[in-house]
A and B are shown apart, each in its own frame.
Chain A
Amino acid sequence: MESLYEALANLDGFIYPNEIALNWDLLIVMYPYITGLVAGAFILASLNRVFDIKALKPTYEISLLTALAFMLVATMPLITHLGQPLRFYEMLITPHLTSAMAIFGFVYLWYLMVVLLLEIWFDYRYDMVIWSQQKKGFMKFFYKALTLWISDTSPESRKTDEKFGYFITVIGIPSAFLLHGYVGFIFGSIKANPWWSTVMMPVIFLFSAMVSGIALVMFIYMAINYLRRKKTDIFCLDTIAKYLFYILILDFTLESLDQIHRIYEADESFDILKILVRGKLFFTFFIMQIGIGTLIPITTLGVLQFKKPRERTRKILYLIISIFVLVGIFFMRWNVVIGGQLFSKSFYGFTSYKVNLIGGTDVSLSLLWFIVPFFILAFLIWLLPPWKKFVEKTN
């Protein structure tokens, strides 16, 4: 309540009294951010499998496990943000079909159960059978349970795995598009809010998701190799960087198109949005999102496409870029979610939002939901180590 009184004292112009409280805080920033990481990491895995880009093979399992680790907590920021968190199940029991948000539970379940889990299951089934035969005690039982008590290792069964795994991946790409384009639609379909209400929103969310997911896998791939003291496959990194570069350009083009359209049309909301972007969003929009998150990575990656410095230098550059991109996309979500609530729908003024760094539940919970996936990922990698898979020798 004190922060509300502070916001009231610092009101800028006029705002509807109910708008002083900013309802969607940092947790709702985390929600599209984490969901985007899932969709992006999955797209990278699909590049390898469906589009048969062999250089990306070392990151295939890592991308899938990363996607799964983040997917498992993707709903948590939403649920913990609810005023009545224990009632979240109502969204699955009595979904209100005209609401863009109601379908999220089903899109989420579809993506988690039918796409991610199945793809990983088909990919690891053979290995889990072998591991269950090697291990003893509880782990033996655990792997057996994971294989659903199928111990078939015949070449035919592996062909089936491969066939269905591929099929799932093919379904998975539109599903990943659906998952994150859909998150964009949740914002883009709010006609009351001119900062959100644009047809481009799902597309922009999708491409920024791909950017952030690819950067995350790049980072995790390097981190894992560092922790295992293994050499990172620089050819693989170069390829990831190439795709990151392409998609960054696409993402930046789309976002620019959206803004140019907004500026040129300059409808009734333009005056207030101009003050918003130049004022309260200046740091997060121009410096963090566009500068650090987009222009620096694009320039660096662009130069790297033509001029290749030493391997070590490139690795350091890739590491920095992946972190920059991850930070930049976080601020892109921030600018959408928080930026959209800073101005009044009366177009006559602004409220303010300060993150409570100390003692704020939104900050601690947001941090929690960002850190937990890394622990889940560590567990998944321990359970299903990609480098202990039994690689086919026939190929």
Chain B
Amino acid sequence: MAINKENYTRRDFIKNSGMIAGGVVLVSLLNPFKLVFATKKPVGIGKWYGVGIDIEKCIGCGSCARACKIENEVPNEPFFFRNWVEQYTIMNDGQIKVSSPNGGIDGFKQPVPDENIYKTFFVPKMCNHCAKSPCTQVCPVGASFESPEGLALVDQSYCIGCGYCVQACPYGCRYIDPQKGVVDKCTLCYHRLEKGLNPACMMACPTGARIYGDLNDKESALSLFVKENNCAVLKPQLNTGSKLFYNALSQEVH
């Protein structure tokens, strides 16, 4: 133990540690406060998809969730959804009841008698296709990525099924497919968009409560929807850059 000790003292140890810490500081000074999100928005070229949902038009029929399950072969069990509908009921005593039986696919029942209801409404939920998506940020292998059009997609032949993105999504929009062992999520029906068709949920909506569009095009349906309505996104405090805009969103909705 006593050999050559004078070369490596405790002071040296502190010095070494200090150098490492200093190096880290130096590197961060060279590029201070750079964001470490997985994607950068391409400037001004191509499409940049977003979604708009008008809560005032949603009748809670669940057609969107049903069509999505069929179109995208989502497992039938009530634990896996690419989109679903929630029913919010705020009672006169201030209590908030939320329910989404089987994602709303089989329709809703109002458990609270009308006279006790202060306010009630449906909220359809789906992937927010965030611009600063926390889910693609944490994928360790680059199987979850944001497409050049701004859609958060999953490369299922490359996904390792670690579930980190499921944890990172603040909106609960991802699930692990029990058969495939990989993660699955809404693609905004990328395969339909490319064929000129509407996403299954938007096609199925009987009241036109859901729209999608190009945010780069200021004349697109979505851009006008956002302009003309008082829109809000879910959990804005998390700075996810959500591109799912709700009209008439109540503050009780998380």
Residues of A within 8 A of B (CB): 1, 4, 8, 13-14, 16-21, 23-24, 49-52, 78, 81-85, 87-88, 90-91, 94-96, 98-102, 104, 158-159, 162-163, 166-167, 170-171, 173-174, 186, 189-193, 268, 340-341, 344-349, 395
Contacts and interface: CB of A to CB of B under 8 A. Distances in A.
Interface in B165-180: 166-178, 180
Given A20-B79, A82-B160, A87-B158, A345 B171 contact: yes
A332 B167 CA distance: 19
Nearest to B164: A101
A49 B10 CA distance: 11
A18 B81 contact: yes
A18 B80 contact: yes
Contacts of A186: 164
B3 A346 contact: no
Contacts of B36: 98
Contacts of A193: 167
Contacts of B167: 23-24, 190, 192-193, 340-341
B244 interface: no
B140 A99 contact: yes
B162 interface: yes
A190 B97 CA distance: 27
Interface in B136-163: 137-143, 158-163
Contact of B160 (A91, A174, A349): A91
B12 interface: yes
B139 A192 contact: no
Nearest to A158: B3
Contacts, number: 174
B50 interface: no
A232 B20 CA distance: 39
B172 A18 contact: yes
A50 B158 CA distance: 44
Given A83-B159, A98-B137, A18 B175 contact: yes
Given A84-B159, A99-B164, A192-B238, A16 B171 contact: yes
Contacts of B177: 83
Interface residues of B, number: 66
16 contacts: A4-B77, A18-B81, A82-B161, A83-B180, A98-B137, A98-B138, A104-B140, A162-B1, A162-B3, A166-B5, A166-B8, A174-B17, A192-B168, A192-B238, A345-B254, A348-B98
Interface string B172-210: 111111101111000000000000000000000000000
Contact of A23 (B12, B97, B166, B254): B166
Contacts of B171: 16, 345
B138 to A, nearest CB: 5
B62 interface: no
B132 to A, nearest CB: 11
Count chain B CB atoms within 10 A of each CB in A95, A102, A193, A346 and give the residue with the most: A346
Given A96-B38, A96-B139, A1 B8 contact: no
Interface string B1-44: 11111011010110011001000000000000000111000000
B166 A90 contact: no
Contacts of A85: 160
Interface string B69-84: 0000000011111001
Nearest to B173: A18
Nearest to A177: B17
Contacts of A345: 170-172, 254
A87 B139 CA distance: 14
B100 interface: yes
Contacts of B7: 163
Contacts of A17: 78-81, 84, 100, 102-103, 172
A20 B168 CA distance: 16
Given A94-B141, A95-B140, A191 B79 contact: no
A16 B170 CA distance: 10
A70 to B, nearest CB: 21
A42 to B, nearest CB: 15
Central interface residue in B16, B160, B174, by most chain A CB within 10 Å: B160
B3 A159 contact: yes
Contact of A83 (B78, B140, B161, B254): B161
A285 to B, nearest CB: 20
Across chains A and B, which 3 residue pairs bring their CB atoms closest together, nearest first? A83-B161, A16-B172, A83-B181
Contacts of B52: none
Contacts of B1: 49, 52, 162, 395
Given A159-B3, A191-B134, 5 more contacts: A4-B79, A16-B125, A82-B161, A83-B160, A96-B141
A114 to B, nearest CB: 14
Given A18-B81, A82-B161, A90-B160, A170 B16 contact: yes
Given A21-B79, A96-B142, A98-B37, A83 B176 contact: yes
A189 B167 CA distance: 11
A16 B17 CA distance: 45
A282 B102 CA distance: 30
A13 B95 CA distance: 12
A83 B139 CA distance: 14
A1 B76 CA distance: 12
B248 interface: no
